[in-house]
Chains A and B, each alone.
Chain A
């Protein structure tokens, strides 16, 4: 690797200006600092009108219940997501194009060899109790994230960090010595669940934390699980001028209609997850609008590659050819989505666009099934209402399957029965995933060691070998080739039927300013207005 070739540079280019790039070339090999966020903010400020201070922002969020909790490093449900961003922030962030930038707590995150990393946080950032953010907090936060006993959501992607080999270089700088070369660490540190917490932060029961502190724009004032939480403005927030609201109230709404009604009657200012059938209703109301954000969230149909009948790759190929993808998007997502090609991570730079888009081909499907001796196949398809499109996709697919002589019995289970000890064991089921980049997704669902591997992929060792190599590869071009090969393997013989990606549909009152259309998002409402700090009342 030459002195001037930085393995991570192309990832971060998109957030940096030309000046930064030239400066970096001169320094050689070390990633340059975080003015990326300033460039973005300046751009945004010029484009938008001047923000106004004040007001109480009320948001209705879908789901929730007695198990709600607030933990700066963990989520399970949508209300948990809405709450985590009020008070906690990550070292690096994703911009509206799903590219990693230095928009977070870190001033610098760099590596020369891929297995030794240096993190330096910005100076002058305080936690809600006035304590200054420093290296000790970063070390504590990373250790807590990867602690296997806690099973925190963001832990799996940070597996290559060695908790015993973290060194504090000075008040604001930490050095990590990884167990192996890993280019995906930055990605993992940008996940919204990788919040930075102060030393000693600890929940006092499984998954539940008392009102507690972080560096974010709002402090927790009160919290009643299953009902609502109230957050007050952090006057010492490090981004001067922000946030704009005085208070944020997050209200649980398990029932879709009640949530829509609350928005329409003005009792809340914004809501997540507008049911696709209600989009017209909300848009048609004066003073209310629906925000559509493309996401890489997917609700696949999963076939276990090691269980009959799907252990025969011909059967898997046949099932994939049954899917009429445009029809599935238009019926299961009411048209609010894009078709898929049995590959995940469409926002990843290295998404393999070269693989031809699959279409329905019932004749070919039937001939494949005949060759496999499964002409009159009957299967059960277990599903649940875990996300928009899960049950509906299963039902549309079952209809389409008849055209190939396949009988699919859709079994809709309630959430607890689905995510029971049978979960990950069914030969044929659905599931849901959020937006991730390719290698992070592989770690989460496509390896034997993954926490949620529904398909029990891979069918051979080559995929795992390629994965390990990809983590180690610093040359961008070589890495792209590896990722393309891995995707081709999954495209040819994987267990997922990825028929589409949903669009995030959120509702809001037009007096809320600052929301941008078309943001590539993981979380609704532009990541809840970036923690409710980039939105204001007109």
Chain B
């Protein structure tokens, strides 16, 4: 019965997610079609003439009715054909494929480091509430959260690459035909910048939630039963304390997908951030649309995942699902 409830819940949430994506695709397409400026002219730039503009517009199907363009595009998305970049004149998948992989590596590493780190920091701070450790982490985390990412990123560069110590590379020059993970040194600073951006909010909510949980009856019960503090913390308190944090984690990971632009720029990292900025200024519609849908899909997926994980992790919520 329980499983039916959960499976049904997952299916419902997934369908809702797909519906959301469909609506998002309409918004993305409409928004990019009415971006100020004409793609043909943006591509030709200073060398645009009436003849070359006309030729380019025909070549790129910009003169077909809007609805036809949309259905063509949507059909392509579903089958994996993201179209051809207007600026680079090659398939969008070829243009952004490597960059998506590179950005994914950064995001994954940042997530793998920041999530456990912030959970531990938040839990320990809650455990030692109002003691020096708690105050210290609170202040440091608040200060870091207040700094914009590019300040943090540049600060890291000055500290570790160019001025104070010269230990790490200042920019991530990963060759286009190589994988990001084969250049670990180039990843250290960008990942650190992202971890610093994402850890404070998760740690803070973790702390707040854990403070709440640690005062609850079942934790007191566990203590009274004589269980070691460690077991109380990690087996009983944490699974309940983590539930509210999951939503924040999902939100921050999704934010990473967009906020990565700034960090990638500072480090000249070959990811989707740079590709997105370039595509927007070139009015390269297919690339802008593909990247927007990609980030939106990631966002929707993370949210569905967060909803499901929250249910699975929290026993009380599980039982309420009939």
Contacts and interface: CB of A to CB of B under 8 A. Distances in A.
Contacts of B45: 76, 416, 419
Interface stretch (B10-18, B33-41, B252-260, B306-314): B33-41
A67 B43 contact: yes
A253 B171 CA distance: 10
Contact of B278 (A65, A205, A262): A65
Contacts, number: 108
B52 A67 contact: no
A261 to B, nearest CB: 4
Contact of A255 (B44, B49, B266): B266
A222 interface: yes
Given A66-B284, A415-B281, A262 B170 contact: yes
Nearest to B49: A151
A212 B155 CA distance: 42
B169 A208 contact: no
A416 B89 contact: no
A255 B273 CA distance: 13
Nearest to A207: B47
Interface string B53-78: 00010000000000000000000000
Given A264-B162, A420-B37, A65 B282 contact: yes
A416 B281 contact: yes
A262 B168 CA distance: 11
A255 B46 CA distance: 22
A277 interface: no
A228 B170 contact: no
Interface in A255-304: 255, 257-259, 261-262, 264-267
Interface string B169-207: 111010111000000000000000000000000000000
Given A226-B275, A416-B283, A258 B267 contact: yes
Among B56, B85, B162, find the residue whose CB has the most chain A CB atoms closer than 10 A: B162
Among B47, B56, B161, B274, find the residue whose CB has the most chain A CB atoms closer than 10 A: B47
Sorting the interface of chain A by its residue count into under 10, 10 to 19, 20 to 34 or 35 or more gives 35 or more
B241 interface: no
A253 B46 contact: no
Given A265-B161, A416-B282, A420-B38, A253 B268 contact: yes
A265 B43 contact: no
A42 interface: no
A423 B282 CA distance: 16
B302 interface: no
B46 A452 contact: yes
A485 B54 CA distance: 42
Contacts of B42: 416, 420
Interface residues of B, number: 46
Interface in A413-467: 414-417, 419-421, 423, 452
Contact of B37 (A66, A266, A416): A416
B170 A265 contact: yes
A452 B49 CA distance: 12
Contacts of A417: 36-37
A267 B173 contact: yes
Contact of B88 (A151, A225, A251, A419): A225
Contacts of B267: 258
25 contacts: A66-B275, A66-B279, A66-B284, A67-B43, A67-B88, A67-B282, A76-B46, A205-B89, A208-B88, A226-B88, A226-B275, A226-B278, A254-B274, A255-B266, A258-B171, A258-B265, A259-B268, A264-B170, A414-B281, A416-B37, A416-B281, A416-B283, A419-B45, A420-B42, A421-B38
A63 B201 CA distance: 35
Interface string A43-61: 0000000000000000000
A206 B49 CA distance: 13
Interface string A123-149: 000000000000000000000000000
Contacts of A414: 281
Interface in B234-280: 265-268, 270, 274-275, 277-279
B232 interface: no
Contacts of B265: 254-255, 258
B161 to A, nearest CB: 5
Contacts of A251: 173
A258 to B, nearest CB: 4
A417 B46 CA distance: 11
